[in-house]
Amino acid sequence: MKTLCFTLGLLLLTACCCNAMPKALQFNTAPGNCCFNVCTRSLPLKRVSSIAKTHSSCLNQAFIVQTIKGRQICYSGTFQWALDVYNQLHIDSSNQQQ
């Protein structure tokens, strides 16, 4: 009986301390950066530090713009200004790598 209790206790302790968890058991499977509110005013390009698309599993497809001051602003995935900035910055960076 002592061995059974010790084994179950050790198994429980291991399960509690282990960070690896199968995806099916995770409660929050959404990625960290999704947009729920979007901005409709464009920014001057000189204030944009980077731009990225939200993860495909986000409810709203959008762009996250990082300003030079570190602020993150969401824009709709269909907002023309954001599309233009995304294409411009990603075309420029791919040309620089070649």
Q: What is the CATH number of the domain that holds 32?
A: 2.40.50.40
Predicted confidence at residue 23, as pLDDT, reads 45
Total domain count for the chain?
Answer: 1
- The predicted model scores a pTM of 0.62
In tens, the pLDDT along 65-97 reads 999 999 999 999 999 999 999 999 887 655 555
Q: Which domain holds residue 63?
A: 2-97
Is the model more confident about 3 or about 5? 3
Long-range pairs for 66-75: beta carbons < 8 A, 24 or more residues apart = 67/43, 72/33, 73/39, 73/43, 74/35, 74/36, 74/37, 74/38, 74/39, 75/35, 75/38, 75/39
> Tokens 């495909």 — which residue?
56
With 80 as the cut, is the pLDDT of residue 21 above it? no
- Average pLDDT for 16-44: 67
- Average pLDDT for 51-62: 91
3-state secondary structure of 74: strand
